[in-house]
Chain A
Amino acid sequence: MKNIQIYLIGLSLLAASCGGGNTGNETKTPAMSISIKGSDTVLPLSQKEAEDFMNGIPGAAITVVGGGSGTGITALMDGTTDICMSSRDLKAGERLKFTEKQMDIKEITIGYDALTVIVHPSNKVEQLTREQLEGVFTGAITNWKELGGDDMPIVAYSRESSSGTYEFFKEHVMDKKNYASSVLNMPATGAIVQSIGQTKGAIGYIGLAYATSSVKSLKVSYDQGKSFVAPSIAGAKDKTYPIARPLYYFYDGKKESSVKGFVDYVMSPEGQKIVADIGYVPVQ
């Protein structure tokens, strides 16, 4: 008897839930739907922009997915995303592929990110030239005394090769040379800050927004040591700080009408304020 009761209760519950489901599931097709994919650096920014944009326009649906700059660019090529976010410029080969596919790629700089070279707070070294940084990360310089510091081995931290930051640093600081095998690869920027904060001989690079008091930022020079510049938002804006990189949105010019609303919002004063809130440098 008990069994039957349980069955009955179960059945009625099932029926009720089905009924409820039917009445509640009247989905509307969104008035506007955009998919955004790419760089993990730009990801938090795009998410916030998309949220605020959707709040303003009911019915708009924006999907934001990370995965890395390269992933986004491939997706844009295959037509599986509308906007690609990227923390690096297109490579020559990628430009060529877009031309072959007869896609007219529009490139919009939505903000800047200053890369900061950080060391342990107890380190005596205050500033380095680009050539010295190259030596450190390619493994040619292995002791701090070669850079005017104490006699201790240098421990260089980098991001994983999947990161746009990794590629940017390799291209613009290391003159496209490969990282030494002995460089430590960390899965996240937060992990780099944590490790450098607890390792005396450590050096690494992070986005300006990630710098905390547990690490020390270095001044860098791009003119063989004539002038050294400390990383700052202002410096990234007026380009006196050399290791600043633009953050991009790429999209197909032929589909401009479908993404224009969102891109315009990001470039508006309101959208640019979000750029600053997230910790990047606004374009204006």
Chain B
Amino acid sequence: MVTYLYNEIFCSKRMNKIQKFTGRFMEALVKACGYMTALTVILIVLFLFSEGISFFSMRPTEDNTALWVNKSNTVQQLSATQVKDVFDRKITNWQEVGGANMPIQLFTIDELAETFTEDQLGKSFEHVPRCINAFIDSVPGTLAFFGDKQTEAGLPAARRMEMAKISFIGFVSGTEWFPTSQPVASMGIMPLLLGTLLVAFFSIVFALPLGLAAAVYMAEIADDRIRRVLKPMIELLAGIPSVVYGFFGLVVIVPFVQEQFNLPVGETALAGSIVLGIMALPTIITVSEDALRTTPRYMKEASLALGASHWQTIKNVMIPYAGSGITAAAILGIGRAIGETMAVLMVTGNSAIIPHSLLQPVRTIPATIAAELGEAPFGGLHFKALFALGCILFVITLVINLFVELVLKKRDKQQ
């Protein structure tokens, strides 16, 4: 009875039709998923770049604010760094920025309240523009900073000092990162860029020899039993959340680095490189082990037949054969290291200084984005600067991935 029913249902023509229909339906569904994924990627990239590129048409001052100087002042323009130094009182004379020899007098809303009485300012602050104007007029060395609201009535004695728009070159070559400094943000990403590349590069320098050795051991030397234990353990390494690596790094590696090198501070590029190296290990081991395994059997056998030892075969036949695969593993590892955020944020100290050695704190691009996006006002200058950073990070990883494609293509040709 059961057999009869089974045949009736599954072998009838109608069933065939249904099967065909389900087949087509599933194909369409899979296709739709594929397109949707591609579309999502494109949308993300478009969003990233539309936000990031609009950054370069902005001025480094806050919206609706401006700097004002006395009309007689000969200084036409100040750079963002100069303004920052003036407000930090590191520059105190106009001579230092190419002007006449007179002291710089800062004048902001705080000084306004200290200089003038409430009566002078008016009940609803209606006399504020007049007071500002009077002050700038009487003190020729004034550098005033006010919102447009307070100056919209016009300041006849003053000249508005426009800040230069942010340029791509200035953004990349600038050496100071003070995105929230008032009144002018200085945004130079050179320290961040160098920090990111330094940490990523040295993480691979540490991880590649270790990873390659482990891959050789797993592919050739280890017997089955050991491999069955080792392989899942290494894969597990890829599954540990990065914040756990970060915490491990902060509590174990940072003090270790500090003691070994007798440093004043352990949060350094070196600590970051070590943590990232550990994190890149699974990628490197898995990819290079796969590459080593693709060595054709006949090549190995030919080498052994010629009298080469096992080690000589590995060294002279297998590793050269898998060379491009191993290169791909290293580049993929770098890609992972460049984009890593949380672990680096916790162990590198995050000082935005241009690194001169591995034993200094560094600040990386992903760490900067993660740490600062929370407070950056939506759509503002700082917000867009972080998106521009994201674009640069994207371009770096894109170049790296293209490079991997190129290397792997070369390998396919070799075979």
Contacts and interface: CB of A to CB of B under 8 A. Distances in A.
Nearest to A152: B264
A201 B346 contact: no
A182 B353 contact: yes
Nearest to B6: A1
A201 B264 contact: yes
A162 B371 contact: yes
Interface in A54-111: 67-71, 74, 92-93, 96, 100
B350 A178 contact: no
Nearest to B2: A1
Interface string B246-290: 000011001100100000111100000000000000000000000
Contact of A178 (B65, B181, B250): B181
A93 B65 CA distance: 9
Contacts of B349: 184-186
B371 A160 contact: yes
A35 to B, nearest CB: 17
A138 interface: yes
Interface stretch (B152-160, B171-179, B394-402): B171-179
Which of A152, A176, A178, A200 neighbours the largest number of chain B CB atoms within 10 Å of its CB? A178
Contacts of B179: 161
A187 B346 contact: yes
Which of A93, A152, A200 neighbours the largest number of chain B CB atoms within 10 Å of its CB? A93
B149 interface: yes
26 contacts: A4-B9, A67-B374, A67-B375, A68-B375, A71-B377, A138-B88, A160-B350, A161-B371, A161-B375, A162-B374, A162-B376, A167-B180, A176-B182, A178-B84, A178-B88, A181-B191, A182-B361, A183-B351, A184-B265, A187-B345, A187-B350, A195-B250, A199-B258, A199-B265, A200-B264, A201-B265
A177 B181 CA distance: 9
Contacts of A214: none
Interface of B: 2, 5-6, 9, 62, 65, 84, 87-89, 109, 147, 149, 176-182, 191, 250-251, 254-255, 258, 264-267, 345-346, 349-353, 361, 363, 370-378
Which of A167, A176, A185 neighbours the largest number of chain B CB atoms within 10 Å of its CB? A185
Contacts of A161: 179-180, 371-372, 375
A96 B147 contact: yes
Contacts, number: 103
Given A68-B374, A70-B375, 18 more contacts: A1-B5, A1-B6, A93-B62, A96-B149, A152-B264, A161-B180, A161-B375, A162-B376, A177-B87, A178-B84, A183-B351, A184-B349, A186-B350, A187-B345, A187-B346, A191-B346, A198-B254, A199-B266
B351 A181 contact: yes
A194 interface: yes
A92 B375 contact: no
Contacts of A93: 62, 65, 147
A162 B6 contact: no
Contacts of A186: 349-350
A198 B257 CA distance: 12
Interface string A155-167: 1000011110001
B374 A185 contact: no
A247 interface: no
B88 to A, nearest CB: 5
B350 A195 contact: no
Nearest to A4: B9
B110 to A, nearest CB: 8
A148 interface: no
B371 A187 contact: yes
Interface string A109-138: 000000000000000000000000000001
A89 to B, nearest CB: 13
Nearest to B149: A96
Contacts of A1: 2, 5-6
A225 interface: no
B374 A184 contact: no
A199 B264 contact: yes
A202 interface: yes
B351 A182 contact: yes
Contacts of B65: 93
A10 interface: no
